[in-house]
Structures are given as structure tokens and as C-alpha cells.
Structure 1
Amino acid sequence: MTQPAPVHREDGELVGFVTESDGGWIAATVFGYPLSEHRSREDAEDALVGKGLSYLAERWALKRDDVWMRAELVEASPAHVTVQLVDMSYPDRYGERVELTAPVTEGLRLEH
């Protein structure tokens, strides 16, 4: 696997990274979470630019104590991501913030 290459919008804003993997390309968030796989680097870059940073506002889940809990992203960068638990099923943990070191590939998932 190659080093992640940054992808920027026309205005210079970082929207994510692309990485070559097994003959294809992976488009990932600014904090390294894999979003999608593509046949070419150009397709992966286009996917990130087209999606922009909208994935930051999507539904996420954080794994805590072997349980997946709904979470929102509060802050994201190439170094880390901060999530806030917003799962009403766990009122004692609601509002709890957790910082994860990038790249984040486990313990956090995008909910579809």
C-alpha cells in the first residue's frame, strides 16, 4: 500500500486522501477512514471532490465497551478526529467526547 496522497478542492480545502491498494484506489476521509474503492486514482479523487466534506455531517457510530453507539463528528483533521456520543440509548454517555488518532480504520464506522 502506498502513502496516502492528499486531495484538495479547487479552493485548496483538503477533502481527503487517496491510496493505491491491490490494483485499485481507496478514497478516505481527512482522518483516514476508507469511504470507497475505485479503479483509478482519478475516480477516487473525483469521488472525494464531488462529496466534499459532507461525510462529516453524516451518521457515524463509535464502538465503546463492545457496543456501537451513535456519534457525531465534532472535529476532524489529518492528525485526529473528535466524536461526540449522541445515542439516547446510553444516557449516561450522551455528550461524551472521544478523540481518536488518525488514521482511523477501526472503532468508528459510517452508518448507511
Structure 2
Amino acid sequence: MIPGHWHAHRREEDGEVLGYLEPVGGERYRPVTLLGHPVDGPVGEEDARAALDARGLSYLADPWLLSLPGRGEPIAVRILEVGPRRVRVANVDLGYEEADYGHVFVLDVPETGRLRPAGS
């Protein structure tokens, strides 16, 4: 679950939550995505909000990789849903025979590093 001391940052146009400002001391914040992944290092509040505005939400549609316990290579997944408590991803890896194509995995948010962009 997103910690209560993180502040939601909403897009001005429609109020959609783009991410969170994680207080890191003083007047510094770490902007984090909906998944809890850092976007930038600790910066002032305006810069943290600008980083989240620039990032937007399009990254959610990108291909992702999910590391699974006991499996050396991560599998390809697509994000289905992100909320303050969980993220749901679907298996899109045709080579992963241990779960059907489309099988849904549920992960806690903030996500702890098992999920990463496919291009990284």
C-alpha cells in the first residue's frame, strides 16, 4: 500500500493521479510513479511535481518484465491495473509455460523491484 505520508500528485487538467511525492527530509521530495518507482532524485516540491507531469502515464502501456521466484529469466507482462494497494499484470510471454498466456499476477504497491520496464 502506498504509504500515508506520500502525497498524491494529480494532473491539473483532469485530476488523474500521476504519481506521488515521497518526503525525504526538509523541503525535498522524491517523485515516484504509481508503482512506487523513483522518477528522479530528491528535489524541491515544484521540481518533483514537474518530473511527474513530464513522465505522465504513457509508461504504463509499455512492455514490462516480471521476475519470478525460482526463475532465472523474467517474463514479459503488460500492466492491466494500478492502484494504491496493488498492481495487476498479465503474462504475455509465449515462452513461459508455467502459466497461461494472459494469467494475471497481483503485486503489492509500492512494487519492490520485481517489475521493470522491458527496455531497461
Normalised to the residue count of structure 2, the TM-score between the two structures is 0.77
Give the equivalent residue in structure 1 for 2:10. Answer: 8
Give the equivalent residue in structure 1 for 2:107. Answer: 100
Q: Could you say what secondary structure the match of 1:6 adopts? A: strand
Counterpart contact for 1:18–1:44, Cα < 8 Å: yes
Give the equivalent residue in structure 2 for 1:43. Answer: 47
Segments of 5+ residues of structure 1 without an aligned counterpart are none
2: CA distance, partners of 1:98 / 1:104 = 12
Higher strand share: 1
* Greater C-alpha radius of gyration: 2
Give the equivalent residue in structure 2 for 1:85. Answer: 91
How many correspondences in the alignment? 111
Identity fraction in percent:
33
Moved more, 7-16 or 98-107: 98-107
- Given residue 3 of structure 1, which amino acid in structure 2 is its aligned partner? H
Q: Could you say what secondary structure the match of 2:53 adopts? A: helix
- Given residue 105 of structure 1, which amino acid in structure 2 is its aligned partner? T
Residue 91 of structure 1: how far off its partner (Å):
4.3
1: CA distance, partners of 2:42 / 2:94 = 36
Normalised to the residue count of structure 1, the TM-score between the two structures is 0.82
Q: Could you say what secondary structure the match of 1:48 adopts? A: helix
Moved over 4 A (4+): none
Q: Could you say what secondary structure the match of 1:42 adopts? A: helix
- Given residue 49 of structure 1, which amino acid in structure 2 is its aligned partner? D
Backbone CA RMSD of aligned residues: 2.2
Moved more, 94-103 or 29-38: 29-38
- Given residue 37 of structure 2, which amino acid in structure 1 is its aligned partner? Y
